[in-house]
Amino acid sequence: MREDQNSPALRQGVDFRDTPNATARVTEHVRPGKKRAPLLRYIRINLTRTTRLLLLLVIAVIGIASATTALSGHEPFPSAMPFLWLVCAVSAVFVAGGLLTKKRIWPIGLGIALASLLIYIGGLLGNAPYVWNGATVTLAAVWNTTLFASLGYTVLYWALNYGMIVASPDDQNFTD
Amino acid sequence: MEFEFPWWLRVEHFLNIIFLSFLIRSGIEILGTYPKLYRSQHTVPGTAWAQFTIQRAAKHKYYTVGGEYDDYSPRFSLPGRGLLGLGRYWHFIAVTGFVTSWVIYIVLLFGTGQWRRYIPTSLDTFVQAGRDMLSYMAFVVPEPIGGMPFNAIQQLSYGFVFLILTPLVILTGAFQSPAVANHFSRITRMMGGRQVIRTIHFLCMIGYIVFVVIHIAMVVLHGYGHETSKIVFGHTDLQIAGGVVFTIGLALVLVLHVIATRWTLTDGRAVEKLHNIVARPWSNLLYRLPARMHYDRDNVSGKDVQLKNTTHNFRGSGRPPETPEYLALMANCYEDDYVLEIGGYVERPMSLTIAQLRELASDHSQTTLHHCVQGFTSIGKWHGIPVSDLLDLVKPLPGATDVVYLSFQDMGRDDALYEGGTYYESNPMIEARMPQTLIAFDLNEEGEIPAKNGAPVRLRTETSTGFRNLKWLERIEVVNRYDIILEGRGGYFEDADFYDRNQLI
């Protein structure tokens, strides 16, 4: 007890005694009966501001690509224009909110990505601006960008929740 | 000029598959022993920009670098299971082949005029590459440039990989070597410091993996048989045969990896022999690059970097000796009790106290970058006396070849991570005589060396990786051969693990 009374850490209220990794290293995510964790659990990136900007950028790309598709006049399916403009508008609000605040808005981004993905699937069933449907190469590329960016955001969102990446204001809290 | 697929290009392509895959797997093994990437060469705890581990550090206990190892599966890393020494051996064996192959390839490219297949001769290529990118995104396969074997974006991609990514990975790989980095320490700093170089080297590996994934996707998109026929036979006439032969080739590479992994895990010494045959002829040349670092501890970059960016915690590796003898020395602050013995194959054996060492050293110091074999770095200012000066005092007898250092530390007794044996190291005379090979007794003007960093006296061999910088020094012996000491490999880790005594890389 004397040692405890003299501990600077304890005097500061820091008490790790009896916690699992007080004096020994612990491994996380290892399932019972296994030696190692799933491969992707080993990856943890702590570029928080870059990740935040990347997530915003992907949604910005979805918004711009949706607007470009809407402006082209090539409707992917009947009455698609309002949906494209809605995705564009929400994306703009999302990006502005992401840049001007520190809020964790990532589920909203997932909603935008999934909405864009739904529009793309609608286009598959309708008259999407592909080259073989009479669209220019550039327009077809822009249209497909909504697919790639939506899938990209979904993957990033999953990685965010899995712990592989973190976006500002969060942090991996590496302690070494 | 016809840009076909000459035989040497096809051979080089196949060799690259072997060398790159071995480099990536052994590189992952090396990364796994210190699975953290930093931007600062002070490796300040908590500032890593990436970690590749599932371990959480102990909150309430001093832990050494040896505990950083992560146990990667042999399916991914070569050989897996945290065997850094063997991973290094494979990395150096593969890099010997990779660099040799690349140099020959570059000579042939430029010698035959085939360089034009990778280097655009017109700015239009960049514009066309943009159009090709759009085409791919529009799900339209773009046409090759007239007279070329591939389209503009492929040309730029291959050019980037061969002429930018590969030189960059070789350069940053070379600067992982303590001998290279510490001889050319200004270039090390110009490149952002050791940890930035390590990060770039890692990103190059990611670049190769991304390239390979896209490359395979493109091969499938353009037609597997069509593309493999070109790289197997040099033309597109035998598409089925090309696909079959190439697939068999890939299977052989896979078998090679399985054999190499199992062989390494069962007979590491055989891999060591292979490494010594392949890599030592060139790694021994690095003895010609003595360290010549002159860091400013608080001001590495020339700008005021503030306290948070200095190495205020010089990382410890290994645990201090736990003997009554050493603890008594520590309790008495070393000064009165500690005596460094220097003997062996010398004319004038002698014993020196710390006070005498200080007097002989005449305030000599060096501020240097420490390269841990696992990957961490720290900058420290060491006061001490060059080993060369001590050797001049004791006068080695004719025929003396090596200097052996014995530590108070016994690995099995003092460190739960390792098995028994006195810690010792040795320098060939050329290394011992280098200007920055030092017997140090003071770190960072603190008046002494902290126990975790090797108090009271330790060795600094700045051309070498960290574990050869023996700590808790008890005795120095000059010898005329080192290969009859214990296992005969020149040091504790060389004997007990799989590390080459030549740790210049």
Put simply, whether B55 touches A (Cβ < 8 Å) is yes
CA–CA distance, B107 with A173 (Å, rounded to integer): 49
When pLDDT is averaged across residues A123-146 and rounded to a whole number, the result is 97
- As a whole-number percent, the residues of chain B with pLDDT over 90 amount to 76
Residues of B whose CB is below 8 A from A164: none
Residues with Cβ < 8 Å from B498, sequence gap 6 or more? B83, B85, B86, B89, B268, B269, B271, B272
Which of B46, B52, B76 lies at the smallest CB-CB distance from A176? B46
When pLDDT is averaged across residues B350-366 and rounded to a whole number, the result is 94
In order, the DSSP letters of B186-231 are HHHHHTT-HHHHHHHHHHHHHHHHHHHHHHHHHHHHH-HHHHHHHH
User: Is B274 a residue whose pLDDT tops 70?
Assistant: yes
Give residue B301's pLDDT.
45
CA–CA distance, B368 with B175 (Å, rounded to integer): 15
Question: Strand B422-428 and strand B437-443: pairing?
Answer: unpaired
Which of B60, B73, B139 lies at the smallest CB-CB distance from A140? B139
When pLDDT is averaged across residues B465-476 and rounded to a whole number, the result is 96
Beta-carbon separation of B137 and A145 below 8 A = yes
Beta-carbon separation of B50 and A148 below 8 A = no
CA–CA distance, B110 with B107 (Å, rounded to integer): 5
CA–CA distance, B38 with B197 (Å, rounded to integer): 10
Give residue B2's pLDDT.
64
Give residue B305's pLDDT.
44
Put simply, whether B303 touches A (Cβ < 8 Å) is no
**Which tokens go with A156?**
């990033």
pLDDT category of residue B297 using cuts at 50, 70 and 90: low
Put simply, whether B205 touches A (Cβ < 8 Å) is no
Beta-carbon separation of B51 and A130 below 8 A = no
Give residue A16's pLDDT.
67
Mind telling me how many Å the CA of B63 is from chain A's nearest CA? 9
Higher-pLDDT residue of A78 and B149 is: A78
pLDDT mean across residues, chain A = 92
Q: Which of A1-10, B49-58, B329-338, B431-440 has the lowest mean pLDDT?
A: A1-10
Q: Which of A45-49, A60-64, A137-141, B309-313 has the lowest mean pLDDT?
A: B309-313
Give residue B309's pLDDT.
46
Higher-pLDDT residue of B396 and A35 is: B396
Question: What length does chain B have?
Answer: 505
**If you count residue pairs, one on A and one on B, with CB atoms under 8 Å apart, how many are there?**
104
Which of A22, A47, A131 lies at the smallest CB-CB distance from B59? A22
Residues of A whose CB is below 8 A from B28: none
CA–CA distance, A86 with A112 (Å, rounded to integer): 9
Q: What is the pLDDT of residues B55-83, one digit of tens each?
A: 887 666 667 788 888 889 999 999 999 89
Put simply, whether A28 touches B (Cβ < 8 Å) is yes
Residues of B whose CB is below 8 A from A130: 138-139
Q: List C-alpha distances in Å: A54 to A42, A48, A151, B133, B307.
A: 22, 10, 14, 21, 31
Residues with Cβ < 8 Å from A109, sequence gap 6 or more? A55, A58, A59, A94, A153, A157
Residues of A whose CB is below 8 A from B73: 36
User: Is A134 a residue whose pLDDT tops 50?
Assistant: yes
Give residue A53's pLDDT.
98
Give residue A22's pLDDT.
65
When pLDDT is averaged across residues B360-379 and rounded to a whole number, the result is 92
Put simply, whether A174 touches B (Cβ < 8 Å) is yes
Give residue B4's pLDDT.
80
Q: Which of A7-11, B21-25, B98-102 has the lowest mean pLDDT?
A: A7-11
Q: Are B420 and B412 in contact (CB under 8 A)?
A: yes
Higher-pLDDT residue of B333 and A86 is: A86
Its ipTM equals 0.89
Which of A21, A35, A36 lies at the smallest CB-CB distance from B59? A21
Give residue B308's pLDDT.
46
| Other Cβ atoms closer than 10 A to B94 | 24
- Full-model pTM: 0.93
pLDDT category of residue B228 using cuts at 50, 70 and 90: very high
Residues of A whose CB is below 8 A from B72: 36, 42
Give residue B310's pLDDT.
55
**Which tokens go with B345?**
């194959």
- As a whole-number percent, the residues of chain B with pLDDT over 70 amount to 95
Give residue A23's pLDDT.
65
Q: What is the pLDDT of residues B196-207, one digit of tens each?
A: 999 999 999 999
Q: Which residues of B260-281 are buried (b: 16+ CB within 10 A; e: fewer)?
A: bbeebbeebeebbebbeebbee
CA–CA distance, A21 with A134 (Å, rounded to integer): 63
Interface of A with B in 123-152 (CB under 8 A): 130-131, 137-138, 140-141, 144-145, 148
Residues of A whose CB is below 8 A from B48: 46, 174, 176
Mutate to test the interface with A, among B29, B49, B73, B312 (most CBs of A within 10 A): B49
Q: What is the pLDDT of residues A2-60, one digit of tens each?
A: 455 666 667 777 776 666 666 667 888 999 999 899 999 999 999 999 999 999 999 99
pLDDT category of residue B307 using cuts at 50, 70 and 90: very low
Which of B53, B56, B139 lies at the smallest CB-CB distance from A144? B139
Put simply, whether B120 touches A (Cβ < 8 Å) is no
Residue B439 backbone dihedrals phi, psi, to 5 degrees: -100, 110
Residues of A whose CB is below 8 A from B55: 25-28
When pLDDT is averaged across residues B205-232 and rounded to a whole number, the result is 95
CA–CA distance, B492 with B501 (Å, rounded to integer): 10
Beta-carbon separation of B137 and A45 below 8 A = no
pLDDT mean across residues, chain B = 92
Give residue A5's pLDDT.
60
In the three-class reduction of DSSP (H, G, I as helix; E, B as strand; rest coil), residue A113 is classed as helix
**Which tokens go with A119?**
């529009």
